[in-house]
Amino acid sequence: MDNTLEAYKDLEGQAMNLVFYDECIDHLIRIHRIIRIQNGNALLVGVGGSEKKSLTKVASFIARYDLWGIKITSKFEEKYFRE
């Protein structure tokens, strides 16, 4: 995992300071498994600072996927979400 994190830093140009304890690795594997399934998706719920976004970035990097997100504004409508 540490080698993967170093590779991410080298390729993306941004360091990510993560500590890979057992539960963290379990969540990372789950996210990776879900996104590798055709049409796989997950809703990650938790308090801020629980590294949901960081683990998703690493899982996407391992799967060699591009990661993108939506930015919700006051004019955001359901049709934009569906796109």
Cα–Cα distance between 36 and 15 in angstroms, integer? 24
Q: What is the pLDDT of residue 29?
A: 93
Mean pLDDT for 30-41 is 91
pLDDT tens digits, one per residue of 36-76: 999 888 888 878 777 888 899 999 999 999 888 777 778 87
Question: How far is residue 30's CA from residue 59's CA, in Å, rounded to a whole number?
Answer: 9
**Residues 13-26: tens digit of each pLDDT:** 888 888 888 998 99
Asked whether the whole model's pTM tops 0.85, one would answer no
What is the reported pLDDT for 15? 80
Check residue 30 and give its pLDDT: 94
Domains, the chain, with CATH or none:
2-82 (3.40.50.300)
